[in-house]
Chain A
Amino acid sequence: MATNSNHNLRRQMLKVAHSLGLFFAMMVLCVPGLWIVLNSFRPTVEIMAKPPVWIPNELNFDHYRAMFGGIGEGGVPVLTYFANSLVISVTSTVIAILIGMAGGYAFARYKFKFKGGIFVGLMVTRAVPGVALSLPLFILFARVGIIDTHFGMIIAYVALNVPFTIWLIDGFFRQVPPELAEAAEIDGCTRWQAFWRVEFPVARSGIASAGIFAFLTSWNEYALASQLTRSTTSKTMPVGLLDFTSEFTLNWGGMCALAVLMIIPALILTFLVQKHLIAGLTFGGVKG
């Protein structure tokens, strides 16, 4: 009996320890985010207070109001930045996914010369940090005359994302048995139909996850964008955050408000696709 209750006790303790561990991990992950949201709603005095005020005394929309207000009142062209970010991220993601699908499919299904070498080469491009590329890209883009344009940013982000989408999508197409496409071809499909009607829907979840990654990379990217965008015609939201800095002051509240606006679309997208991700990841057409 004694050993039995001992084990019971130990199990209870482990459960508590487990919950505590999870709690701390989640805290480390969540507090910065929550802090940003909180700061966007409270007066600058409270943000700057030392020691920090943990429980806010007053919440208001002042920072948001100021941000959307006129230039003189601490306003920034939020909507333009948002539109820039959206156009650049969505376009570059769509292109990266299309190229990623073609490339990933080729790597997963076909044999060709230097396949391994090309694949490693693609991965190596990911090993170069984005900042290291910013100066060469700046010079190149300036010469070609695509600096401070949507087009330039889209090209840069496509190049950044394509190796990654190819690698991810290749993995997902590998999980789709080649017999599915063969069965579809026997059932009357052309090669093209077999891909779109069978292989694509089955690998859809993987392609969606590659899409999220590509979108978030472009949406959050700062290092390249800060060099390659100059004005409101192409500045993205991460770069727009810098508008809140001036020579002697940092408008933390305004920055947090813009950061919240940045987070919202990313969150919505992730939630939308997450459901799809889980639902799609059930393979059952072949043995298993």
Chain B
Amino acid sequence: MAQVHLRNVVKKYGPLEVVHAINLDIADGEFVVLVGPSGCGKSTTLRMVAGLEAISGGDVQIGGRVVNDLPPRDRNISMVFQNYALYPHMTVRENLGFSLHIAKHSQADIDKAVNEAADILSLTPLLDRKPGALSGGQRQRVAMGRAIVRDPEVFLFDEPLSNLDAKLRTQMRVEIKKLHQKLGSTIIYVTHDQIEAMTLADRIVIMRDGHIEQVGTPLEVFENPINTFVATFIGSPPMNLLDGVVKDGQIEFADGTRLPVPPGYFTDEGQAITFGVRADNIMPVGHALPRGEHMAEVEMTVDLTEPLGTETLLFAVLAGTEVQAKMLNPRPVHRGERMTFQIMLDKCHLFDAETGDTQKK
């Protein structure tokens, strides 16, 4: 087990800088998820930790030692790849034992470790098959088994679930979380799927364009997004954002609709502002959670509905922008129906319209 520290880590491809001096401290046994849209540098960052990409600047430390120039084999890490990267010419048993075989462990040791890992991941009946004869989920488990057998200080996962279908993905997500609880090892996990990030992580690192935008626990980044990018990236459906101007202590939108400034925010008169509200905090009257202290009511026309069973998503237009609202205790809603919605102001967010950063409280 080990801590991982990134200090001003830079990655350049020729003149192009793709990761800009990022800093990150990962505690021993912590499950950290790097999340962001494709091309944000999260995979590159992971590969720099693994030693598969040379770093162009800064320091990478694993377990207290600087590993900048160490080859991957000397970093005491394991990695699970998106396409699994199982050795197709070896059986599952040989795949699992490969690292120990290379390290010249005795056959007895190898067998013991392989059987143990196979047991944890219920791979025992598959040990003598080749990867070609396995299903996607089984291959995924073999890839994880291969990582476990090495007993590394740090596990690295590079989008390990993106090749699986939705059902299997949910299942494997739970298995990975259980595995972490069982092994207690440090894990760095890369994904573009914010639901994976939310469900798995002890801490989420949200990246964009080679910068770290925000680091925090899933609830922290969900409840207090640092800017509009994080606000729309984390959470499903994404946070509704409406542009307006502060006037007479209220927010006025383009069509003249006014809403009170959410409690706790400082605003300047005439300031351009972005108002953010999640679908969970804008609900039709009678279908909402118990009334809070700070509420606002708006009338909207419903364009489209997405029934999800326990709740229904309503698409409606507020102040010229399409917003998504949520209806608990669903009932059938027809298109064009006009409804009154309650907005829970104390759960709403304000961002500076120019910078996109959260407004000071």
With A186-B78, A188-B73, A193-B102 as known contacts, state yes or no: A177 contacts B85, CB within 8 Å: yes
- Bitwise, B73-95 to A at CB < 8 A (1) or not (0) is 10001110111111111000000
Q: Determine if A189 and B85 form an interchain contact, defined as CB atoms under 8 angstroms apart.
A: no
Whether the Cβ atoms of A284 and B133 lie closer than 8 Å is yes
Contact check, A188 vs B102: say whether CB atoms are below 8 A apart: yes
Interface residues on B, range: 20 to 34
Distance in angstroms between the alpha carbons of A284 and B134 in the assembled complex: 8
Min distance, Cβ A288 to any Cβ of chain B, angstroms: 8
Consensus secondary structure, chain A interface: helix
Chain A residues contacting B86 (CB-CB under 8 Å) are 183, 284-286
Number of A-B contacts (CB under 8 A): 88
* Chain A contact patch, size range: 20 to 34
Known contacts: A189-B102, A190-B73, A193-B102. The answer to whether A184 contacts B87 by CB under 8 A is: yes
Does B327 have its Cβ within 8 Å of any Cβ on chain A? Answer: no
Tell me whether B89 and A202 are in contact (CB under 8 A): yes
Residue of A183, A191, A283 with most chain B CB atoms under a 10 A cut-off: A183
In-complex Cβ contact of B81 among A179, A188, A190, A197 (8 A): A179
Question: Are B78 and A284 within 8 A (Cβ)?
Answer: no
A286: nearest chain-B partner, CB-CB: B83
Q: Indicate if the CB atoms of B99 and A187 lie closer than 8 Å.
A: yes
Residues of A within 8 A of B71 (CB): 185, 190-191
* Interface contact B87-A202, CB-CB below 8 Å: yes
**Which A-chain residue is minimally distant from B134 (CB atoms)?**
A284
Judge if B39 is at the interface, Cβ distance under 8 Å. Answer: no
In-complex Cβ contact of B98 among A177, A187, A286 (8 A): A187
* Contact of A285 (CB < 8 Å), options: B51, B85, B103: B85
Give CA–CA (A187, B145) in the complex, Å: 12
> Could you tell me if A285 and B87 are in contact, using CB atoms closer than 8 angstroms?
yes
Closest to A205 in B: B89
Closest chain B CB from A38 CB (angstroms): 43
Q: Is B150 an interface residue (CB 8 A)?
A: yes
Q: Please list the residues of chain B having a beta carbon within 8 angstroms of any beta carbon in chain A.
A: 50-52, 71-73, 77-79, 81-89, 98-99, 102-103, 130-134, 136, 139, 146, 150, 163
3 interchain residue pairs of minimum CB distance: A284-B132, A285-B88, A179-B85
Instruction: List the interface of chain A (C-beta within 8 A of B).
Output: 177, 179-180, 182-191, 193, 197-198, 201-202, 204, 282-287
Q: Give 13 CB contacts A-B under 8 Å.
A: A179-B85, A180-B88, A182-B50, A182-B79, A183-B85, A184-B98, A186-B77, A187-B98, A188-B99, A191-B71, A202-B87, A282-B132, A285-B131
